Amino acid sequence: QVQLVESGGALVQPGDSLRLSCAASGGPISSYAMGWFRQAPGKEREFVAAISWAGGSTVHADSVKGRFTISRVNAKRMVYLQMNNLQPEDTAVYYCAAYAGCSANGPPVYWGQGTQVTVSS
């Protein structure tokens, strides 16, 4: 059983940067592809970014491409989401997720509890 704990959410102003962290425990996290999702009030949860088990392959949603970057350090069992030039539409609860295999195919099987990011002037 994999446990995921997110941190780093905050209230920031438009144009600011923020880095979210996801600490993984309880399983061979280095074997899993990892991802970030977000859910804004009144909207469905949406994909943000994913990274393969070794970090060699990443994919980002069009809405965040060029502004957000996913990364991981397997030795520390950590996954990160660097968010630059944040905009009000980025306001959401951000979730860390682990996929069942080494690539981000199919739905994640493990989820964190989420961390709130609010972008407002």
Q: What does the pLDDT look like over 40-98, one tens digit per residue?
A: 999 999 999 999 988 889 999 999 999 999 999 999 999 999 999 999 999 999 999 99
Find the mean pLDDT for residues 90-107. 91
Q: What is residue 31's predicted lDDT score, i.e. its pLDDT?
A: 84
More confident residue, 112 or 54: 112
Asked whether 8 and 93 are in contact (CB, 8 A), the reply is no
Residue 28 pLDDT greater than 80, yes or no: no
| β-strands 115-119, 11-12 pairing | parallel
